[in-house]
Structure 1
Amino acid sequence: MRILGLILVVFIAVLQYRIWWGEGSVREINHLSQKVAEQAKQNDLLKKQNELLKKEILALRKNPQLLEEIAREKLGLVKPNETFYRIIPKNDIR
């Protein structure tokens, strides 16, 4: 009877070890749950960025003048026989 009790105690100890510290333990599951939640947040942000980019692409396809305006603004493009003037506000002068 003592041997059976000792075997049960050892068996329970081994199971407890696996539950708390072994592979697939509670700690590991909590860590993975946090990583899944973080990845879900990042995925949501990327989905929002993708939607904004899709809207911008559609706007550029529908309005070619918008593409020219963006190129002029961001790249400083100037048409032939056109003079570009840059006006600097008084507050920006050092």
Structure 2
Amino acid sequence: MKRFLFVLIALLGLLQYQLWFGVNSLPGSVLLREQIALQQEGNAKLVARNQVLREEIIDLSSGTEALEERARNELGMIKKDETFFRVVGERLKPAN
């Protein structure tokens, strides 16, 4: 009977060791859950960014307005017989 009790206690100790320090331990499980949450947050940001890019692609391929806007803003292009005026704010006066 003592031998049986010793085996049960040893088995319980081994199971407790696996539970707290083993490969799939409780602390490891908590860490994995935190990593999963961070990854899901990053994935959500990427999905939103991809949606914006997808909409921009559709806009650029479907019409000329977005293409014209990009040419004006990023490349500084203007239409034929069009005059471009740049309004510049007041310069900062030096402090005395």
Give runs of aligned pairs for residues 1-94 of structure 1, distance below 5 A: 1-77=1-77, 84-90=84-90, 93-94=91-92
Structure 1: how far apart are the matches of 2:18 and 2:8? 15
Indicate the SS of the match to 1:89: coil
Structure 1: how far apart are the matches of 2:81 and 2:38? 54
Deviating above 3 A after TM superposition, structure 1's stretches of 4 or more consecutive aligned residues are 77-85
Give ranges in structure 1 of 5+ residues lacking alignment: none
Query: Could you give the per-residue CA deviations for residues 26-58 of structure 1, whole angstroms, max 9, x where no partner exists?
Result: 111111111111111111111111111111111
Structure 2: how far apart are the matches of 1:75 and 1:12? 73
TM-score (norm 1): 0.79
Q: How many residues align?
A: 92
**C-alpha RMSD of matched pairs (Å):** 2.1
Identity of aligned residues (%): 33
